[in-house]
Structure 1
């Protein structure tokens, strides 16, 4: 067999496809991590409700266009799940992002990303409580280790306290956990793209109403600099729509379990991007991120589990 035959074999093609899916999934996590630094930049000029609404108006338009091109209008799924989409959009999109933008006024991008990085564990814990089943000891132990990592990152062991923004972002992670659970329990006969598009639209409308009620988004938008608008468009199109697209490619090719591990790159990318902007992390922050990721991997069974006999 020649080298050409080997590289053109189905196995080689499968490896190339899985490798591409891995790279795209990793890029999605990096894009999500970049949102926290972009949020910090936007909040220097825009108030939180206007910033959040601006991000998701553009994101909703982008993902609805994508839905139309990829799967059609998605109106049947909307009719079947209108109430669920509305509630999930208000809680999981508007609630989560309002907490993020309000919290980022006093929190740091690295801390915010790390708190959100524990959301898979929070989701599993809430789902266990809703289902009235006690989580596995491994999950509880991993959760405790992750919280120690978060505490290291915010400097709690050196006498510092959680900033009010940190608590808001944790509340946002709870809203995201409820959104994830609600999508599993309440949505019927809708694709992930349909669910994301319609809940994102509901969240965008909610944030837009709040922005007009609490701020003056039109007047503020006219005074924003190109930097603020660029960061907003980055969060909307790259950090929301494109990240979701890449993540879904990873799930479809490599499966949800293998892809979900790459979510641990979110706080790592946030830390590296903050360093690239000249804000070098403290050693305790680096250690905290490592400890938190170890806890997530331990709780999810990615490490410490004995291999099964073949």
Structure 2
């Protein structure tokens, strides 16, 4: 019996891509809420290590068949190792360390500045120019972060939020390093190698894990820890990388701007947090600033994808 092979019209297929990409954004936004729950039961180091073990197992099982060891100069291997240390190990550890005391909504808003900070770093690495429009957008986005920390009488910015800034900076640096590495190795090689080197860095610090808290955590929390890591950093990333080219980088980036609002909704529904009007206004300013700064560049990239 012949199997039916039904192909959707291109415009319908593209429309169906948007809900899939939006699901990825919802998953990423929910990571702030999941992280806040996890740091109440595990120490940040244990969360980072266990998640990285789960993510590496998942990635190597499903993607290793497409992996080949790159034949590149030593300097490229050095950047691969540095990328794993900064973009994987330090990025994920500081994320959970910051969430111990930081507001998850404020954390999401701070991380929303990563695209602008990445663009700033490229000024020094790739000598890319930035116009007045970019700097106005960056200033607008920064004012949104400051406003989001205003509680009605004063600006509250604690140690946790400061650590989340480090998370944002490590992610921005990682994006610049990935852009450089993409000239020498493919995406699968970058993903697998940076994750394995990030894990290797954390293994010597095993004595620092809080085994008492790990023993007290029940099976549901362990499942949340492991499964959320695989879904957030494994499955959703793979789906995004597969679907994003169908609509272009510019259109997909607009969906990514919804991540802070997902964090807000999750904080209200799951954590019972009260969302302040300053946080909502700050989120709008950040999204407007990021869009103003980067829209023209991404629009050009999107056109190149279709061509």
Moved more, 180-189 or 146-155: 180-189
* Alpha-carbon separation, structure 2, partners of 1:79 and 1:207: 25
Match of 1:146 in 2: 141
2:284 is aligned with 1:287 = no
2:242 is aligned with 1:246 = no
Give the CA deviation at 1:78: 8.4
Q: Tell me the number of residue pairs that the alignment of Structure 1 and Structure 2 aligns.
A: 291
Match of 2:230 in 1: 237
* Alpha-carbon separation, structure 2, partners of 1:148 and 1:158: 17
Give the CA deviation at 1:188: 4.1
Structure 1 counterpart of 2:291, from 289, 297, 310:
297
Structure 2 counterpart of 1:123, from 115, 118, 124:
118
Moved more, 85-94 or 282-291: 282-291
2:178 is aligned with 1:180 = no
Give the CA deviation at 1:60: 1.4
2:30 is aligned with 1:34 = yes
Structure 2 counterpart of 1:200, from 195, 207, 232:
195
Give the CA deviation at 1:79: 8.7
Match of 1:270 in 2: 263
Check the 8 A contact 2:41/2:214 in 1, yes or no: no
**5+ residue gaps, structure 1:** 1-7, 306-310
Match of 1:56 in 2: 52
Give the CA deviation at 1:137: 1.1
2:208 is aligned with 1:214 = yes
**Cα RMSD (Å) of the superposition?**
2.4
Spell out, residue by residue over 1:135-183, the C-alpha distance to the aligned partner (whole angstroms, 9 max, x if none): 2111111111111111121117731331111111111111111111111
* Alpha-carbon separation, structure 1, partners of 2:16 and 2:188: 21
Output the TM-score relative to the length of structure 2. Answer: 0.86
Spell out, residue by residue over 1:221-248, the C-alpha distance to the aligned partner (whole angstroms, 9 max, x if none): 3332223213212431111111201210
Give the CA deviation at 1:82: 3.3
* Alpha-carbon separation, structure 2, partners of 1:229 and 1:44: 13
**5+ residue gaps, structure 2:** 1-5, 300-307
Output the TM-score relative to the length of structure 1. Answer: 0.86
Spell out, residue by residue over 1:37-68, the C-alpha distance to the aligned partner (whole angstroms, 9 max, x if none): 11111111111111111111111111122212
Structure 1 counterpart of 2:95, from 100, 110, 117:
100
